[in-house]
Amino acid sequence: MKKDLLLFSSLLLIVLASCNSATKQNEPTTDTSKSVEAYDWALLPFEKTDSANPVMTPGVESFICPVRKSAVKWNEKDVFNPAVAVRNDTLFLLFRAQDSIGKPGGTSRIGLAWSTDGLHFTKRPEPVLYPDNDAYKKYEWEGGCEDPRMVEDSSGRYIMTYTSYDGKTARLMIATSTDLLHWTKYGAAFSDAYKGKYFNAWSKSGAIVSTYSKGKIVATRVNGKYLMYWGDKYIWLATSDDLIHWTPVEKAKAELQPYDSIYSDFNVSDLKIAVPTRQGKFDCNIVESGPPAMLTDKGILLLYNGRNIISDGDPSLAEGAYTSGQVLLDKNEPAKIISRMNEYFLKPEKPYEITGQVNQVCFIEALAQFKNKWWLYYGTADSKIAVAVKN
């Protein structure tokens, strides 16, 4: 098996090194569809690639889990919620995969796959980031490593935000890599902030503000700081000097308002809300960061996920449906909304989006410029991966 891994690593490095073509940067355009309001700052319209979707499904690949010390079919149950990177003419997905034996609902690990056309993927036979017998096992076992999002820094190093889950608490974690294969874990993003105040807080979904150019997604400072939108109830804000250690942005006491009881383990009323939920709309119950936020001339563009509850939201959507929205925030005041779409632009409507581990879900996490198009990869019903494309 070691020989196979060495051979695979060598082949992948050759693929990465031999990619020579570059993609072309596209600018956001106004939506022209009849079902969604037109916003001249938004990235629209996206069309689902029905001819190929879902582009990734569960598989039978196995590896020796270092914790269980036995072979595990690590992506047998579900694959969903990917991150993306483009290396010239090859597109790479990091994706969340679940086995069928872990608790709760299967242990999650992060796999790697690649494609030269954006539609047909080859999976690496073993995951690249997973619970191990390391310093982070107690935070990652046995729920696992979930929902990667990925950017590069100016040197080409990859920065991944992901969620560790120990069965009780989700924590936003950081890892880095130079080759997409070998990852160094740094632990919880908020471990040092405010003397550890948020270390045991429920935290996830870190979307780092970046510049999208020529296929690359490069973390970019705004007013001297790296910025990250995060959270899966409201969307909050955090800052960093090094992309590893992050500090949640807190708000003035005068801005306090009530929050749901799921956050009773820490005082979320201290956090500055960047994107709130909205009564009567598709995002009435939850808003959660999507792909890395995009720095544009008009502001910071954030594509996000919203969950609907019929009694308080959009009665035309199913109960608990996850759909996709877009919001533009001020570069000088990153928690200030300039404009926000009133309608979703992606919703569950295909059988594989409606029925699965969690029904009625289109969950966006990965946005890429590739072959002169925008490619938006999303999890479907927490079970498979699909793509929508903007020309």
Encode pLDDT of 94-118 as tens digits.
Answer: 999 999 998 878 999 999 999 999 9
How much is the pLDDT for 74?
Answer: 98
How much is the pLDDT for 251?
Answer: 79
How much is the pLDDT for 88?
Answer: 86
How much is the pLDDT for 30?
Answer: 30
What is the three-state SS of 244-295?
CCEEECECCHHHCCCCCHHHCCCCHHHECEEECCCCCCCCCCEEEECCCCEE
Asked if 96 and 110 count as a contact pair (C-beta separation under 8 A), the reply is yes
Q: Which domain holds residue 130?
A: 2-390
How much is the pLDDT for 265?
Answer: 43
Output the CA torsion sign for 218, 224, 229, 231. positive
How much is the pLDDT for 28?
Answer: 29
Domains of the chain: total: 1
Q: For residue 139, give the H/E element and its range.
A: helix 137-140
Q: Which residues partner with 212 through β-bridges? A: 217
pLDDT tens by residue, 262-318: 444 445 679 999 999 999 999 999 999 999 999 999 999 999 999 999 999 999 999
Query: Which of 20-24, 133-137, 187-191, 263-267 comes out lowest in average pLDDT?
Result: 20-24
Residue 378 sits at the vertex; the CA angle it makes with 176 and 150, to the nearest 5 degrees, is 15
Give the CATH number for residue 101.
Answer: 2.115.10.20
pLDDT tens by residue, 212-247: 999 999 999 999 999 999 999 999 999 999 999 999
Buried b (16+ CB within 10 A) or exposed e, 111-149: bbbbbeebeebebbbbbbbbbeeeebeebbbbbbbbbbb
- The yes-or-no verdict on residue 376 having pLDDT over 50 is yes
Asked if 100 and 106 count as a contact pair (C-beta separation under 8 A), the reply is yes
On average, the pLDDT of the chain sits at 89
Tokens of 228: 């990250």
Please state, as a whole number, how many other Cβ atoms lie within 10 Å of the Cβ of residue 61: 17
Residues whose CB falls within 8 Å of the CB of residue 130, separated by 6 or more in sequence, listed in order = 65, 66, 74, 109, 110, 140, 144, 145
pLDDT tens by residue, 151-178: 999 999 999 999 999 999 999 999 999 9
The percent of residues in the chain predicted with pLDDT above 90, rounded, is: 84
How much is the pLDDT for 104?
Answer: 74
Please state, as a whole number, how many other Cβ atoms lie within 10 Å of the Cβ of residue 64: 11
pLDDT tens by residue, 14-33: 444 444 333 332 222 333 34
Q: What are phi and psi of 13, to 5 degrees?
A: -65, -35
